[in-house]
Amino acid sequence: MKGLIVAITCGLYAIEAEGVIYKCKPRGIFRNQGIKPVVGDNIEFDPNELVIENVYPRTSSLKRPLIANISQIILVFSLKEPDFSYLLAFKYLTYANMHDIKAKLVITKIDKEHDKKLINEIKETFASINVETYFISNKTKEGLEEVKALFKDEVSCIMGQTGVGKSSLINAIDSNYERAVGEYSMALGRGKHQTKEVILLPYQGGYIADTPGFSSLELNLYKEDLAAFYPGFTNLYNKCYFADCLHLSENRCLVKEKVHNGEISNLAYECYKKLSEEAIFKKERYSK
């Protein structure tokens, strides 16, 4: 029988099949083959013995959070508590590009920020690199209907820092979910973890994946990879005069030309340079 893994708790896999949830375990052969079923996997299972017999090929997969077969990533950030971070936003967008999954930004807690300058700056920065950005208040419901439409017929993975309002957003979309909501700690400067597991919630022909929040995210990629996967640069990669251009000190760089002309936000480029400083070169590049 075919099913979908919607949650994993204490070694038991919650499988949804034909509107029924089954609690199953995987066959031991998976361990010998180095296969680990994850949330989002389409599988074959025995409804009588309650064991997973086969995992079908994945269309996409992430290691953090551990999930498979998502069609989009919804990156959630807040304007306040915690304060919006351009650097972290570009990190997450790069992470999505690394896995070839489309990503959109949802900015929460707009009711806590009365200075429209920051909102307009965020809009202009991400519009310059064709990243869809939405603003919402989970408290007043402003912007909610537009954001709800993003999830229709999609398998969406919600990602973001702790305390930005991911679970509050999910509850605002459908109050029946009743996801636990964490408080923001002013003393620690971060949110308190409430979502402990990855879980798929059905919604309008698709699913919404609630995931544990991150306190940090390491990309673990080379400078050359960053030049290829950084948002706004992906379509320009290999179009510079030098095929392996890092968009830093090289002459005749198309990216720097677009930054100079205002086609790419200078804020986006400054974040790129900071991330490039954190990355290392591929050994092959300078080993000869």
Alpha-carbon torsion (50, 54, 57, 63), positive or negative: positive
Cβ(161)–Cβ(88) below 8 Å: yes
How confident is the model over 274-283, as a mean pLDDT? 86
- The alpha carbon of 34 is separated from its chain's Cα centroid by a whole number of angstroms, namely 26
Per-residue pLDDT tens digits for 85-122: 999 999 999 999 999 999 999 999 999 877 789 999 99
CATH superfamily of domain region 223-286: Probable gtpase engc; domain 3 (1.10.40.50)
Q: Name the residue among 101, 27, 31 with its Cα closest to residue 65.
A: 101
pLDDT the model gives residue 102: 96
Q: Cα torsion for 166, 169, 174, 179, to the nearest 10°?
A: 40
Mean pLDDT across the chain: 87
pLDDT the model gives residue 1: 96
Alpha-carbon torsion (143, 148, 149, 154), positive or negative: positive
DSSP letter at 90 equals H
Query: Which H helix or E strand runs over 111?
Result: none
Alpha-carbon distance of 129 to 126, in angstroms, equals 5
pLDDT the model gives residue 182: 42
User: CATH fold of 62-210, please?
Assistant: Rossmann fold (3.40.50)
**5 Rama sector, left if φ>0, alpha if ψ -120 to 50, beta otherwise:** beta
**3-state DSSP call for residue 41?**
coil
Phi, psi of 214 (to 5 degrees): -100, 145
Question: Where are the domains positioned within the chain?
Answer: 2-57, 62-210, 223-286
Per-residue pLDDT tens digits for 145-198: 999 999 999 999 999 988 888 888 988 888 787 654 444 333 334 334 345 689
pLDDT the model gives residue 196: 66
Alpha-carbon distance of 168 to 111, in angstroms, equals 14
Asked if domains 62-210 and 223-286 share a fold, the reply is: no
**Which band of pLDDT confidence, cut at 50, 70 and 90, is reported for residue 276?**
very high
CATH superfamily of domain region 2-57: Nucleic acid-binding proteins (2.40.50.140)
Q: Is the pLDDT of residue 255 over 70?
A: yes
Token pair of 139, please? Answer: 């408290």
The reported pTM is: 0.87
pLDDT the model gives residue 212: 86
Cβ(276)–Cβ(246) below 8 Å: yes
Alpha-carbon torsion (6, 11, 12, 17), positive or negative: positive
Cβ(135)–Cβ(53) below 8 Å: no
Phi, psi of 211 (to 5 degrees): -135, 155
Cβ(41)–Cβ(58) below 8 Å: yes
